[in-house]
Amino acid sequence: MTDVIDAILNRASQPRLALPAPDQATLDTVFECAARAPDHALLRPWRYLVIEGQGLAALGEVFARTVDDPDNPLAGDKEKLRRSPLRAPMIIVGITCYKTHPKVPAIEQTMSSAVGLGYVSLALQSAGYGVMWRTGALAYHPLVHRALGLTEDEAIAGFLYVGTAESEKPSVPRPSVAEFVQRWPA
């Protein structure tokens, strides 16, 4: 087995995360991995935000404000929303940046961005960190988009909660390959 295959076979999300978060040198390498995502027509339809420290508290305030948003109020416990970014010492926001191109529909740009965020997740876990990819209604809320500086042509692919795993999550059962792979024609 190669290191890459080992890393993939050992990948698992970790919801309980604490300090330390990755340092800048690790992040630089991780984002170089993100830039290896397959990318039809080289549109580079992605960018990332790194949030830590006071930024996490500020993001919590943004999340809490969605409950009172007059246009699109989010059902939820305001205090819980305020605290939710504090579940990890770092959040990486993966953003899809849609470009107009005659041969590359939006879905392909979503996929390219998601592959990149997957590489970020895998690279961080290979470097010894814990990661959990989260979205939920907050990822699609206009108030959150505005606060994070997204344009009308951008969307959130995911919030990667990042840190050091405090305890290993019980492993998720994986389907057997025969359940989801067939030959065609049969």
Residues that bind ligand FMN (CB under 6 A): 12-13, 132-136, 158, 172
Cβ closest to ligand FMN, residue 21 vs residue 161: 161
CB of 180 to ligand FMN, least distance (A): 14
CB of 185 to ligand FMN, least distance (A): 31
Distance CA 59, CA 41 (A): 34
Look at residue 132 and give its three-state secondary structure. strand
Nearest residue to the partner ligand FMN, using Cβ:
13
Cβ closest to ligand FMN, residue 140 vs residue 153: 140
CB of 121 to ligand FMN, least distance (A): 8
Collect all residues with Cβ–Cβ distance below 8 Å to 60 and sequence separation of at least 6.
Answer: 81, 82, 83, 84, 85, 86
| Selection from 38, 81, 43, 35 nearest residue 62 by Cα | 81
Q: What are the beta bridge partners of residue 49?
A: 93
Cβ closest to ligand FMN, residue 72 vs residue 135: 135
Whether 80 and 16 have beta carbons less than 8 Å apart is answered as no
CB of 111 to ligand FMN, least distance (A): 11
Cβ closest to ligand FMN, residue 12 vs residue 43: 12
Sign of CA dihedral 59, 34, 4, 105: positive
